[in-house]
Chain A
């Protein structure tokens, strides 16, 4: 009788521990996904913050008669691309487009500055460029944090026992990290990962 009770108690304890573990794993996956979303929202927020510097830049270019059609076009293209980024859905493809326009704008600005030396020596211009460069650094850092969050999330849903819990309850799919294709193209070596 006593033995049966002990066995029953042990079974109940194991069942309880299993339930608690499953709940913890499921909540871990959900909170990890939420962290990815927050990290993505940070990337967008810093992209938008960069846009706030641009009106001042436009005004500065006009004040110095450094009216470069190419630069102004890039500003418009960047605004449109950033506007397409949505906090609700993680879209690294769209982020790549924003990144390309940012680079093109910075190149265009450098060309404009070389052509207008009085703009180069302007204190205000130096301030914009510092602000723009800090915005770019913060975007790069936000992307690093976003990628780390995505790695953490992917590990949670791919590694045992998280993969079992994911297949039962959350049914999440792996997310893509943001990679800079231009930087990657400079390497001759390209790893070949087997699809999982």
Chain B
């Protein structure tokens, strides 16, 4: 069996192990397999030399044929449409081989991501929820509940991932859900084309895939208010401005009543929001009906620095405590909000 086939078999095996892993210790056998493969077979990456040879052959063949075809009118007449067909087929074959090369090692990245993500969950006591086929319904439900999801994106809106966790802070412990919201923005740009002597400007449709990240949890100390800095549509009648000019430059506060907003936005909370705005882009917070809180932002958390290609470095990374600094900071922020809004008696 060749190197690539052995690699295929080994990757399929460790993918299966990674998918079934229930704790960090379950990854040990993966690292042992990886090291064994590296020592006995060779590097953990696909050998694309033969594909590059095919590419070079196709390029030479295509180039030679194109030269002969376009420089020789007799050949061009004789082959006519068939000649163009051969040229097209050669170009297509070249593109296909290049794509195969480009994606050959992507499965290594995917498996590394899978192991890394699962380990992050283990280290942070998070549990990924199976929301297959329910992402759109969840979005519809959240759209009704929170302004964050209204007026955001134009199509393909759904909850991509949902992770459950439990925060144990100094004064408060509470369960929460961390979600990844997927949406697509549609926009149009003017494009000018010249056809003969005429110039035509048309509006071309473009799309941009975006994500928002957030937390859902119970916040029984307030109701129907929002502090937002980025998009969404909040349906609250009263706009409140605390005395901090810096805060008002970044955030807009709306609530059902001035009293509710003043009670929630104590000076210490205002400063906490300002600090958070330096760490998170597009921070929005809302407490909806029945004291359900949504905190959303635009930038995601940490990413891996190594992969299964280097089993030793990757194992060291996985075995370390993979903190999610942003998630932790967000949780301490929520705990601070709870602390300033609860009753101490």
Seen from chain A, the residues whose Cβ lies within 8 Å of a Cβ on chain B are 35, 38-39, 42, 46, 124, 127-128, 130-131, 134, 137-142, 144-146, 148-149, 152
Contacts and interface: CB of A to CB of B under 8 A. Distances in A.
Closest CB pairs A-B (n = 8): A141-B267, A142-B267, A39-B243, A141-B268, A127-B344, A130-B344, A131-B344, A38-B243
Interface string B327-345: 0000000000001100011
Contacts of B168: none
Contacts of A131: 344-345
Interface residues of B, number: 14
Interface in B221-247: 242-246
B244 to A, nearest CB: 5
B271 interface: yes
Interface string B13-53: 00000000000000000000000000000000000000000
A145 B244 contact: yes
A130 B339 CA distance: 9
25 contacts: A38-B243, A39-B243, A42-B243, A46-B267, A124-B345, A128-B344, A130-B344, A131-B344, A131-B345, A134-B339, A134-B340, A134-B344, A138-B268, A139-B267, A140-B268, A141-B267, A141-B268, A141-B271, A144-B271, A145-B242, A145-B244, A145-B267, A148-B245, A149-B243, A149-B245
B266 interface: yes
Contacts of A124: 345
Contacts of B244: 39, 145, 148-149
B216 interface: no
B110 to A, nearest CB: 47
B101 interface: no
B94 to A, nearest CB: 63
B134 to A, nearest CB: 41
A40 to B, nearest CB: 9
Contacts of B246: 148
B267 A42 contact: yes
Among the interface residues A130, A141, A144, A149, which one has the most CB atoms of the partner chain B within 10 A?
A141
Contact of A138 (B242, B245, B340, B344): B340
B254 to A, nearest CB: 19
Contact of A35 (B243, B267, B340): B243
Contacts of A152: 245
Interface in B257-274: 266-268, 270-271
A153 to B, nearest CB: 10
A141 B344 contact: no
B92 to A, nearest CB: 63
A70 to B, nearest CB: 25
A173 B242 CA distance: 24
Contacts of B270: 141, 145
A166 B339 CA distance: 43
A148 B242 CA distance: 13
A12 B271 CA distance: 46
Nearest to B171: A130
Nearest to A124: B345
Interface string B306-345: 0000000000000000000000000000000001100011
A35 B242 CA distance: 9
Given A134-B268, A145-B242, 8 more contacts: A35-B245, A128-B344, A130-B344, A134-B339, A141-B266, A145-B270, A148-B246, A149-B243
B267 to A, nearest CB: 4
B243 to A, nearest CB: 4
Contacts of B344: 127-128, 130-131, 134
Q: Which of B242, B246, B268, B345 has the most CB of A within 10 A?
A: B268
A149 B267 CA distance: 13
A171 B268 CA distance: 33
B155 to A, nearest CB: 42
B266 A138 contact: yes
Contacts of B271: 141, 144-145
A52 B268 CA distance: 18
Contact of B268 (A38, A137, A148, A149): A137
Contacts of A142: 267
Contacts of A134: 268, 339-340, 344
Contacts of B339: 134
A39 B268 CA distance: 13
